[in-house]
Chain A
């Protein structure tokens, strides 16, 4: 399962009020639509760091990085690629 799919599955099952509802779009506006709130962000961060073995700093908790599933996936991919290069 790729990063984006794993992310969407987690967000759908853990953070969305009705996980059996509409499927999550790649470009769903997670913040504007209230899918992720302040506690949800903490939960998501814990999942991302454990699942993908990356470390996200608090100054990466910026809207641009968490607006959509694709944005988060891109952030994770960049972190994974950076650690491979290092």
Chain B
């Protein structure tokens, strides 16, 4: 028998996070957005709440959640915290912690997991390059073996948390002849490494509190102990990580979608035109019913992807479907919410415009919608 209900523990986690976020994370939103300021004080509050190591083992100070529970937690955070840039930053940090937990050697786990769980370090994952976005296999940052380890040279761009990262998980080419499978590896690079330069953050349309920028590696020397996982296993590690990213990050977007839905329902009941609440007009009701449908379907797909991963099964197809569906649904929901709210929706005061600006990039990162469609069609045998 299939049981779709949350456990008592999951319900408690979800409610606790929503209450915390509403109380602690929704101040100074407009100013931080205007100034593209990363709210470090909120980061530390989230760390105290235990949000930095959701899936990291308890012995390292993490919550030890399975992925499904983490997804429920992250959806709650996305719903109740209106700073989507902060939420995105926290989830990226969590994904780095999971990567170290899964592939790190004992030294790396001891050195990074406790401080990552405590939010005392900020982690970033460096994959994308100026000429390698959708085509990850085209990355050119090189890690050449030397007597004491590796020397890394190359540029990464659009790196979430990059400008403020204490620890960077970097994907680089270690064998150019072998291309995607066998030719790439991951490394852990700390901010104090003289060969790493963290550049200023990009000035973005949305997710403005999220610090996202270039990282330059110039004769960056790391030891063999800084290899994450085995040499040549870069693509395998990437493949596992991207399924997690498409699941966890888009759980938070599902939370925003729910916020749009509830806000639209409330407004449609309260706003009267022609002597009745606008929710009675079919064309308004249609938008809301579509939002509701998309929220429910997105959640089902997300939960399935998380369940598969928790049960050590492949979820490339399911995580791609979830990512594509939720991101496109979120953009539509934000546009519809603005339309439902009319001219008021267009003002900054109602905050819908910020959600809309924040939603636009969701169909770009973690693999564009176009790439997801290619993955889905490939995996359906075409």
Stretch at the interface among B1-9, B61-69, B177-185, B346-354: B177-185
A62 to chain B, nearest CB (A): 6
Also in contact, A61 and B179, with CB within 8 A (given A39-B374, A43-B378): no
- B314 in the interface (beta carbon within 8 A): yes
Stretch at the interface among A18-26, A52-60, A73-81: A52-60
Which residue of the partner chain, among A42, A57, A67, contacts B316 with CB atoms under 8 Å?
A: A42
Q: Interface residue tally of chain B, by bracket?
A: 20 to 34
The residue in chain B whose Cβ has the minimal distance to the Cβ of A67 is B182
Q: Is the CB of A63 within 8 A of B374?
A: no
A-B residue pairs in contact (CB < 8 Å), sample of 23? A31-B179, A31-B181, A32-B177, A32-B178, A32-B179, A37-B179, A37-B180, A38-B235, A41-B181, A41-B235, A42-B316, A42-B378, A49-B314, A55-B313, A57-B312, A59-B236, A61-B239, A62-B182, A62-B230, A62-B232, A62-B236, A63-B178, A63-B181
- B218 in the interface (beta carbon within 8 A): no
The residue in chain A whose Cβ has the minimal distance to the Cβ of B237 is A58
- A36 in the interface (beta carbon within 8 A): yes
A8 to chain B, nearest CB (A): 18
Also in contact, A61 and B180, with CB within 8 A (given A38-B136, A42-B375, A43-B378): no
Which residue of the partner chain, among A31, A46, A55, A59, contacts B180 with CB atoms under 8 Å?
A: A31
Q: Is the CB of B180 within 8 A of A58?
A: no
Give the chain B neighbours of A34 by CB distance below 8 A: 179
Give the chain A neighbours of B379 by CB distance below 8 A: 42-43, 46
The residue in chain A whose Cβ has the minimal distance to the Cβ of B374 is A39
| Max chain A Cβ within 10 angstroms of own Cβ: one of B180, B239, B316 | B180
Bound-state CA distance A69–B283 (Å) is 57
Give the chain A neighbours of B316 by CB distance below 8 A: 42
The residue in chain B whose Cβ has the minimal distance to the Cβ of A45 is B314
B349 to chain A, nearest CB (A): 46
Give the chain A neighbours of B44 by CB distance below 8 A: none
Also in contact, A63 and B313, with CB within 8 A (given A38-B235, A39-B378): no
Name B residues whose Cβ lies closer than 8 Å to a Cβ of A: 136-137, 177-183, 230, 232-233, 235-236, 239-240, 312-314, 316-317, 374-375, 378-379, 381
Bound-state CA distance A66–B232 (Å) is 12
Give the chain B neighbours of A57 by CB distance below 8 A: 312
Give the chain B neighbours of A56 by CB distance below 8 A: 314
B346 to chain A, nearest CB (A): 41
A20 to chain B, nearest CB (A): 19
Bound-state CA distance A49–B313 (Å) is 11
Which residue of the partner chain, among A41, A49, A55, A63, contacts B232 with CB atoms under 8 Å?
A: A63
The residue in chain B whose Cβ has the minimal distance to the Cβ of A60 is B236
Also in contact, A39 and B375, with CB within 8 A (given A31-B181, A34-B179, A45-B314): yes
Give the chain A neighbours of B313 by CB distance below 8 A: 55
Bound-state CA distance A26–B249 (Å) is 42
Give the chain A neighbours of B179 by CB distance below 8 A: 31-32, 34, 37
The residue in chain A whose Cβ has the minimal distance to the Cβ of B380 is A46
Bound-state CA distance A46–B318 (Å) is 13
Give the chain B neighbours of A38 by CB distance below 8 A: 136-137, 180-181, 235
Give the chain A neighbours of B136 by CB distance below 8 A: 38
Give the chain B neighbours of A66 by CB distance below 8 A: 181
Give 19 new A-B contacts, CB below 8 A, not counting A37-B179, A49-B314.
A31-B181, A31-B182, A31-B183, A32-B178, A34-B179, A38-B137, A38-B181, A39-B375, A42-B316, A43-B378, A43-B379, A43-B381, A55-B313, A58-B236, A58-B240, A59-B236, A59-B240, A63-B232, A66-B181
B214 to chain A, nearest CB (A): 24
Give the chain A neighbours of B137 by CB distance below 8 A: 37-38
Which residue of the partner chain, among B178, B233, B314, contacts A31 with CB atoms under 8 Å?
A: B178
Give the chain A neighbours of B381 by CB distance below 8 A: 43, 46
Bound-state CA distance A46–B233 (Å) is 20
Bound-state CA distance A58–B87 (Å) is 28
The residue in chain B whose Cβ has the minimal distance to the Cβ of A34 is B179
B116 to chain A, nearest CB (A): 22
Bound-state CA distance A49–B233 (Å) is 21
The residue in chain A whose Cβ has the minimal distance to the Cβ of B236 is A61
Which residue of the partner chain, among B182, B239, B374, contacts A58 with CB atoms under 8 Å?
A: B239
